[in-house]
Amino acid sequence: MSYRVDSVPWPLRPAYLAVTWLCGTFFYLYCWICRVTSHVSIEGPGNPDLSQHAIFCLWHESWWSYFVVFLPYRSPHAMMSHPAAYMRPAHVMFRLMGASQVVLGSSGEEGRRAANQVAHLVVEGCSTTISPDGPYGPARVLKKGVLHIAVQSGVPIVPLTIRSSRFIRLRTWDDKKFPIPFSRITVTVQEPIVVESWNLDEAGARIVRTLSASR
């Protein structure tokens, strides 16, 4: 039986919380080691300030490089994440990085409610980061959630591409990349994309072109 982070049975919950906290802390330390041993450079054409108020987006394959680069958060962040029980180590990671709130939601009606909640937090001053092809793919195919949050909040989308000179690639649906310590990590911050209700298709196509061209 599969559980959500908020529905793990009480008899299992103490062990579940302990194990997921240890896993999340381990992942945080792995990212910290990568961060302090690697050379990270940030380039344009967009604003290279990663503390800017924005809706950052990147393909799902780049999440672990993202953790390394953004550790710790330099400005308030609210994150939306899948509610499956196995995702709690990632939620611990977000918290250790300084995220002010982790909103549970993935798809369907719950996903829409979560997107609305994140949009509200963005209006209040939080930034957020979304992989438009997550959480189950297909890889590098945009879903509408990031556009919805941008329209609801009025905050632009800033695409990010992150490249590491040394990494391990997992043969998962997204070809997830894990950077290795002592790497050169390059973050390309793209020009912001303003999304309105009338240019959703155009904005979505531009996001895909920008993220795909810079891989």
**3-state SS, one letter per residue, for 137-183:** CCCCCCCCHHHHHHHHHCCCEEEEEEEECCEEECCCCCCCEEECCCC
Q: What is the DSSP letter of 4?
A: B
Torsion angle (degrees, nearest 10) of CA 118, 123, 124, 125: 90
Residue 8 lies inside a defined structural domain of this protein? no
Residue 7 lies inside a defined structural domain of this protein? no
* Pair 73, 95: CB distance under 8 Å: no
- How far apart CA 76 and CA 15 sit, in angstroms, is 30
Q: Give the global pTM.
A: 0.93
Please report the pLDDT score of residue 1 as a whole number: 46
Q: Which residue range(s) make up the domain with 79?
A: 13-213
Weakest-pLDDT range from 1-5, 11-15, 40-44, 182-186: 1-5
Number of domains in the chain: 1
Percent of the chain with pLDDT over 90: 86
- How far apart CA 76 and CA 22 sit, in angstroms, is 24
* Pair 45, 65: CB distance under 8 Å: no
Residue 181 lies inside a defined structural domain of this protein? yes
Please report the pLDDT score of residue 14 as a whole number: 96
Work out the mean pLDDT of the chain and round it to a whole number.
94
> Tens of pLDDT along 92-118?
999 999 999 999 987 777 888 999 999
Q: What is the DSSP letter of 130?
A: E
Residue 5 lies inside a defined structural domain of this protein? no
Please report the pLDDT score of residue 134 as a whole number: 78
Percent of the chain with pLDDT over 70: 98
Please report the pLDDT score of residue 109 as a whole number: 74
Residue 37 lies inside a defined structural domain of this protein? yes
Residue 1 lies inside a defined structural domain of this protein? no
> Tens of pLDDT along 23-36?
999 999 999 999 99
Please report the pLDDT score of residue 137 as a whole number: 80
Single-letter code of the amino acid located at 212 = S
Please report the pLDDT score of residue 136 as a whole number: 82
Please report the pLDDT score of residue 214 as a whole number: 60
Residue 2 lies inside a defined structural domain of this protein? no
